Structure 1
Amino acid sequence: MDRAAELLHSVFGFPAFRPGQAEIVRSVLQGRNTLAIMPTGGGKSLCFQLPALCREGVTVVISPLIALMRDQVRALRAAGVEAGALTSGNTGEETEEVFQAIDKGRLKLLYMAPERLASGGALALLRRAKCSLIAVDEAHCVSQWGHDFRPDYLRIGELRRALRVPLAAFTATADEETRAEIVTRLFDGEAPVTFLRGFDRPNIHLAFAVKDKPREQILRFAGARRGQSGIVYCATRAKTETLAQALREARHEAVAYHGGMEAEERRQVETRFQREDGLIVVATIAFGMGIDKPDIRWVAHADLPKSIEAYYQEIGRAGRDGSPAETMTLYGPDDIRLRRSQIDEGAAPPDRKAADHARLNALLGLAEALGCRRQVLLGYFGEAAEPCGNCDLCDRPAQLFDATEAVRKALSAILRTGEWFGAGHLIDILTGTATPKVREKGHDRLPTFAVGRDLSKPAWGAVFRQMMGRDLVRPDADRHGALRMTEAARPVLRGEVSVTLRRDTVVAAGEREPVIRAQVADEDLGLLALLKAKRRALAEAQNVPAYVVFPDRTLIEMAERKPATLDQMAGITGVGARKLESYGAAFLEVITGAAEGLHPARLKLAGRPEGALFDRLAEVQLALARGEDGTGKYLTCTHSTLRAIAERRPSTLGELQAIQGMGEQKVERFGAAFLAVLRDG
């Protein structure tokens, strides 16, 4: 673990492990089969990348999307790590480069898509590469009933058995059922060492709003966050196009993304989003799993997601850098009808449909929550939590009322009309609105006609929506969406159970929007903008995403701490040895106005105690270059020799003379003074 901690700082530029990382890294290092469920942005990639650098042989990483693999390889190479990917998107030169690195024993991490495992040569290649560990990213893709199922993930268990190597599986979204499926399919049912590191993303603000002119709600939400990178998820391809156009008309940089676009069009959108600050992508769920952009500041859902797992994964693309991020999810009765009908009309067996309805119920419970949303969300994943203070219902508590009588009136209206009508007609009956349809059906003569005049039509709409959300009633696809009572409603109708609902969910969504928090203090905004401009120029010159140079979090720390030397720059989170060498002077020049020129040998010591020793040795050498009286022969040591002395810290003249570059004359001239510096340091 000492070696891993050292590489964490020197290669990746992080001063310490994040909570939960060290234990997982230790398990993988020890060669134990490992399953880690960590929140998105919790640093799961490091949990297999660090062990790969410490272990002999190659670690093969099975990852679901080409874009994700290529981005991680670029980031690793920028940090000085030998990594490569074999994907269908490779050029011939890229593939040959990977094979050469394998044959020369240089490669440490090899990324592969699961589909490549179907080729006959995959096993032979991994044996040739001396594969010593399999890491599986996005391991929930092995679940056949999950929203991201990839059939070729089922081959991974067979690969593990054939290679006889340990396997480490990682995911951010896995409920108890999915975790059991992962164990069965990847580990042959033999329980791996399992780490459940919590699902909380405390930096993400959670918010839901009932649809009320939804296009305006999205435009208002995006307008309050102008210039920040964001994603808007939509249920249909057509909606992505129209909403992206509306955002452009509102002077946002926005593009659509969906599965109906040509592959090259989608690739261009992915590339722009990775490299541009402030771009908004309006997308179906086809977008996102391969996006490793750390500075997405907000995610909005223009329509209700399919499940809590899908919701959690999609909002989890925001704020991966740990800085504040925001979400908003719009929903309404039409969303509930759509999701119910998708389940009912699907080809799944009855028990699976029941499970899918239960998952939708859990999501609707989050949407219609009466208290802290984070408590509801984490409770679904089996975690207890205190009120978070970072959701819309903590910002402004819900207005509640005892809706038992209202719900019983609504259920009575449903039953007395034979469960053949939708909410609109039922509300007309309850409010005593004698429409032609009500009179034609004779429903103006029902005992329930006009019994609900104490509530307005919008209020009754909120009651019916919340009843659907509580799964007290369901739309019946065979009856054109007519509402039918569920078994859960019978105790309410009999007066055995009371119902509390929210009174405030017809309030315009704009009134509940959280306050936007600046990334840095006002006085540092100008410097942060200059640092981002420098990052963009360097990224464009290298044809890589901006975060491969430095993520936002690193630039924010630079703007706040304003390092004045490369030694201080080395202490900034995310500035490893290779990146300090590649970019340190360029960003220091932005901060100080002048680059500090350090010899490469001194640069290797930046941010370490040995750097200060090197500087004192250099000062002593300069003072004694012509001897104590200033008349002697001019003598100096090379920078490499001074670096070796600072690192090895000899304690005697004999040890000093054994260092390359230190002859008898130099020991005589500088020896005593150098040893004094080393003793004092």
Structure 2
Amino acid sequence: MQEATEHTEQLAEALLSYWGYDSFRPLQREAMECGMTGRDSVVVLPTGGGKSLCYQAPAACRDGVAVVVSPLISLMKDQVDALTACGIPAAALNSTLSTEEKRDITQRLREGEIKLLYAAPERLLLDGTLTFLTQLNVSFVAIDEAHCISAWGHDFRPEYRGLKVLREALPQVSMHAYTATASEKVRQDIASQLELRDPAMLVGSFDRPNLVYRVRRANQKLKQITDLVDRHRGESGIVYCISRKEVERTAEALRGLGVHAAPYHAGLSDQERHRNQEDFIEDRVQVIVATVAFGMGIDKPDVRFVAHTGLPKSVEHYQQESGRAGRDGLKSDCLLLFSPGDANTWRRMLASSDDQQSFNSAMQALNHMCDYANSVTCRHKSLVEFFGQAYEKDNCGACDVCLAELETVDEPLVLAQKIVSCVARLDQRFGGDYTSKVLAGSGEARILSSGHDRLSTYGLLKEYKPPVIRDWIEQLVGQGYLQKEGEYDVLQITETGLQLLKGDAQPRLLRPSAPAARQKKKASGDDWEGVDRKLFEKLRTLRGEQAAERGVPAYIVFGDTALRDMARLRPATLDAFSNVKGVGAKKLEDFGKLFVDAIADYCRANDVAPADPAPTVAARYAASEDDSPSLPAVAAFRHFREGLSIEETAAHLAKANSTVVGYLNQYLQHEQITDPTPWVERGLALRIEDAIEQVGLGRLKPIYEHLGGDVGYDEIRIVASCVANRG
């Protein structure tokens, strides 16, 4: 662990106290430090990478109010509800508020009671809002979904362009942009448009290892979707369709099969869309079937699957849409179904654009998506490398390719050489459709009139239909042996394609009309390991009841990660419950006794043992030998520096005294403290040191016995640590 700083300690305490997290995710610490020190930043973290915490944690630690730009009312509401549930005062200014509610928020802002203020870009650009903000103590400005700023991004919104006025209105306040998908070009455009000053560019890995990616040819599409839903019966999922008509048809079919499903598309009324979205967020609907209009405002962490019934229009869109699965870090499925007609559907829809440059850019993005769908290389590798990052693993263990679920042809090299040879014989002047027909031995007039029926490669694959050969061509493009050039996607042979002709390559080509894929080995990792499923369901029911009582989504009470941890650990005391992932001080206070009692009732009724008691003092002492402090311990360091007692620190952190003693020993070791008297009375400390002088620093028990058994192990550990630090 890096050396603890004052900011690290504050942030660690906030994460532990408010959210119950005991570690930073990748780049979170660096992003939070920017919020603490006032350095502008552009932060790119994948969906589920914890972007919100990057500004919420420093906002909770700093004086003043952080202004958060958010695009949708529903997203603001979810985040404000979640922050309030954690004990952090937050509010949102939007059109749904009454005059009295707006007045109340304004008053609380003036009095400095609110830590985070959410607002849409349109509202922040109003003169009255800007003037009001200049009268407040604004700690920093955070801009969520910042890719909307850039015309090069995949979801450009003109109103985001105007946000640079915040820099003019609040020149001394730092600005921070957050997004899940942004190329280097988009990142630089964001920094330029916002007039950021020497911003830190923090770009996390685009890989989502907990997502299991599968790509299938659409074949009995409804059955493919229902099979996925059945595997996740009772769990939340999203099904994306290209058209509104398909959304309605799919939602109706799922309802007919007994699935609680609802549609979402721009053709519905605002009221119906809002109702269906709320039903999904609050678990009254299991599956939402939607066009790409759905999703940006969704902050639901427990979506266990995302299915696409057709090609998304770009890899960026696919990364963002599929990334709505598994935001809590638990294993989740992403299924992409596609057919050759999907690309033509998008081409027709995109052709209405009057801007030729935008159309060409959109077509290029669509071609990249087609390459991904037709590829037979690791899905994680393909996505990560698309965004310009290296992927080092040989086998991700979490996609259809690496799980060996795809049926491949027996002699792919020979088949690929026939195809690439035909491209060469055609002088690299034709596209995939024409090439596939020549290989199939088509008698079309243009082939005969061009004399291509006399080529040595004519009819070389006549046992296959042109669409099958066309698929193989796309797979070779996806693997880099062929490439498309120009407006008409003329096939060209790459350097690796020339190596393939020499036999120095190992292509992979899928069998035509493959049966339903068989899973030959399990995806890596098991999020259910050690979880008592019956207890999990009991706790999930209790969570739902508490959420309904408070009028908030279930995940605001506890996420699935927390429930699984409870059902795995079966904590029998509030102190043990406080160590569950996702349990902070406020949630411990609000729900601790209720859930601990429910766990105890379950254990009695099912003759199941509760959690093991806390580790012994000696075990904790042994564990502290490592010189790298845990993040929960780092959260306590600031209190120890300020001279707070063990009892006072325990009260601040909502931890038991014995737990805080463990943190103190990590602090003593990390800081090499040699004086124990801030925590042990001087006379007692000298007595313990004399005992150590007599029996040595080995085990604690001999020291305890030498002292007659009337001095506690906690005091002995503290003094022993300080004596050890003296060498």
Q: TM-score, normalised by structure 2?
A: 0.76
Partner of 1:588: 596
Q: Is the 8 A contact 1:392 1:514 kept in 2?
A: no
Give the Cα–Cα distance (whole angstroms) in 1 for the partners of residues 353 and 679 of structure 2.
71
2:62 is aligned with 1:55 = yes
Match of 1:162 among 156, 165, 169: 169
Paired with 2:711 and 2:428, the residues of 1 have a C-alpha distance of 95
1:376 is aligned, of 379, 382, 391, to 382
CA distance in 2: counterparts of 1:464 and 1:340, whole angstroms: 20
Q: CA deviation at 1:100?
A: 2.1
Are 1:152 and 2:159 counterparts?
yes
Partner of 2:471: 462
Equivalent position SS for 2:303: coil
Matches within 5 A, 1:176-215: 176-187=184-195, 190-215=197-222
Letter in 1 for 2:464: L
CA contact (8 A) 2:46 2:206 kept: yes
What are the residue-to-residue correspondences of 1:643-654 with 2, within 5 Å?
A: 651=681
The CA deviation string for residues 409-464 of structure 1, in whole angstroms up to 9 with x for no partner, is 47878999x98xx94x9866654566xx8699989994366453143456324235
Give the C-alpha shift of residue 180 in structure 1: 1.5
Tell me the amino acid that sits aligned with residue 559 of structure 2: P
Q: Which secondary structure does the structure 1 equivalent of 2:401 belong to?
A: helix
Instruction: Give the gaps of 5 or more residues in structure 2.
Output: 1-6, 605-609, 611-647, 662-677, 684-709, 719-727
In structure 2, the CA distance between the partners of 1:201 and 1:429, relative to structure 1 (3 Å rule), is: closer
Instruction: Give the conservation status (yes or no) of the 8 Å contact 1:258–1:266.
Output: yes
> How many Å apart are 1:568 and its aligned residue?
0.7
- Determine if the alignment matches structure 1 residue 488 to structure 2 residue 516: no
Query: What is aligned with 2:637?
Result: none
- Secondary structure in structure 2 of the residue aligned to 1:323: coil
Could you tell me which of 653, 657, 673 is aligned with 1:610?
A: 657
CA-CA distance at 1:602 after TM superposition: 13
Q: Which moved more, 1:195-204 or 1:554-563?
A: 195-204
Percent identical pairs in the alignment equals 35
Report the alpha carbon displacement of residue 68 of structure 1 after superposing the two structures with TM: 0.7
1:572/1:362 Cα in 2 relative to 1: closer, same or farther (>3 Å)? Answer: same
Contact 1:432 1:450 in 2 (8 A): yes
Measure, in 1, the Cα distance between the counterparts of 2:82 and 2:496. 57
1:111 positional shift: 0.2
Taking structure 1 as reference, are residues 512 and 460 closer, same or farther at Cα in structure 2, changes over 3 Å only?
farther
Residue 572 in structure 1 maps to residue 564 in structure 2: no
The amino acid of 1:566's aligned partner reads L
Conserved? CA contact 1:59–1:109, under 8 Å: yes
> Given the alignment, which residue of 279, 282, 300 partners 1:275?
282
The 3 A distance-change label for structure 1 pair 46 and 488 is same
Contact 1:319/1:325, CA 8 A, preserved across alignment: yes
- Is the counterpart of residue 302 in structure 1 residue 309 in structure 2? yes
Contact 2:419 2:439 in 1 (8 A): no
- One-letter amino acid matched to 2:219: D
Preserved CA contact (<8 Å) 2:215 2:336: yes
Which of these residues, 456, 461, 464, is aligned with residue 452 of structure 1? 461
- Structure 2 residue 17 is matched with structure 1 residue 30: no
- Contact 2:310–2:338 at 8 Å: present in 1 too? yes
Q: Which range moved further: 556-565 or 252-261?
A: 252-261
- More divergent stretch after superposition (500-509 vs 286-295): 500-509
Moved more, 446-455 or 196-205: 446-455
Displacement of 1:295 in angstroms is 0.5
Alpha-carbon distance in 2 for matches of 1:394, 1:440: 40
TM-aligned CA deviation for residue 581 of structure 1: 0.8
Judge conservation of contact 1:228–1:277 (CA < 8 Å) in 2.
no
Deviations 1:458-516 (CA, angstroms, capped at 9, x unpaired): 6324235547867856998xxxxxxx452636999999978946133642454469858
Q: 1:468 to 1:88 in 2, by over 3 A?
A: farther
- Residue 413 of structure 2 aligns with an amino acid whose one-letter code is F
- SS in structure 1 at match of 2:454: coil
> 1:19 and 1:457 mapped to 2: Cα distance?
47
Structure 2 CA distance, aligned partners of 1:141 and 1:271? 24
Q: Is the 8 A contact 1:304 1:329 kept in 2?
A: yes
Further displaced range: 264-273 or 460-469: 460-469
Deviation at 1:94, TM superposition (A): 3.0
2:134 and 2:169 in contact (8 A); partners too: no
The answer for the alignment partner of 1:638 in structure 2 is none
Pick closer, same or farther for the CA change 1:533–1:368 going to 2, 3 Å: same
Q: Which amino acid aligns with 1:128?
A: Q
CA distance in 1, matches of 2:435, 2:713: 89
Distance 1:493 1:581 in 2: 64
1:535 aligns with 2:539: no
Tell me how far apart the structure 1 counterparts of residues 102 and 711 of structure 2 sit (CA, whole Å): 52
Q: CA deviation at 1:28?
A: 1.4
1:16 matched to 2:29? The reply is no
Equivalent residue of 1:260, what SS?
coil
Cα shift at 1:676:
8.0
Q: Deviations over 1:371-411 (max 9, x none)?
A: 21211111111221113121111001763434242255478
Residues 474/440 of structure 1: CA separation in 2 closer, same or farther (3 Å cut): closer
Q: 1:96 to 1:492 in 2, by over 3 A?
A: same
> Aligned equivalents of 1:493 and 1:109: distance in 2?
55
Does 1:406 pair with 2:406? no
Distance 1:581 1:127, change over 3 A: same
Indicate if the aligned counterparts of 1:205 and 1:326 stay in contact, CA closer than 8 A: yes
- Alignment counterpart, residue 392 of structure 1, candidates 396, 400, 406: 400
Q: Which residue of structure 2 aligns with residue 660 of structure 1?
A: none
- Hey, what's the Cα distance between the residues in 2 that align with 1:514 and 1:318? 22
Shift, 1:283, TM fit: 0.4
Q: How does 1:416-455 map to 2 (within 5 A)?
A: 423=433, 430-432=439-441, 446-447=453-454, 450-455=459-464
Give the superposition deviation at 1:369. Answer: 2.2
- Conserved in 2, the CA contact under 8 Å of 1:217 and 1:509? no
Q: 1:409 to 1:650 in 2, by over 3 A?
A: closer
- Residues 497 and 178 of structure 1: is their aligned pair in 2 closer, same or farther, counting only changes over 3 Å? farther
Equivalent-residue separation in structure 1 for 2:580 and 2:682 (angstroms): 36
1:581–1:603 Cα contact (<8 Å) kept: no
Distance 1:184 1:497 in 2: 47
Q: 1:459 and 1:138, CA in 2 relative to 1: closer, same or farther beyond 3 A?
A: same
Separation of aligned partners in 1, 2:97 and 2:658 = 41
- What is residue 480 of structure 1 aligned with on the other side? none
Q: Letter of the 2:492 partner, please give it.
A: A
Distance 1:284 1:613 in 2: 51
Query: Within 1, Cα distance between the matches of 2:127 and 2:198?
Result: 29
SS at match of 2:418: helix
Question: What amino acid is aligned across from residue 90 of structure 2 in structure 1?
Answer: A
Counterpart contact for 1:135–1:167, Cα < 8 Å:
yes
Distance 1:458 1:613, change over 3 A: closer
* Corresponding residue for residue 245 of structure 2: 238
- 1:88 & 1:266 partners in 2: Cα distance? 17
For residues 100 and 439 of structure 1, the distance between their equivalents in structure 2, rounded to whole angstroms, comes to: 77
Partner Cα distance (1:206, 1:82) in 2: 39
Residues 426 and 10 of structure 1, relative CA distance in 2, 3 Å threshold: closer
> How far is 1:92 from its partner?
3.2
| One-letter amino acid matched to 1:381 | F
Gaps of 5+ in 1: 477-483, 615-647, 654-673
1:106 paired residue number: 113
Structure 1 position 308, deviation (Å): 1.2
- TM-score, normalization by structure 1: 0.80
Secondary structure of the residue aligned to 2:139 is strand
Kept after mapping to 1: 8 A contact 2:531/2:567? no
**Farther off after superposition, 252-261 or 556-565:** 252-261
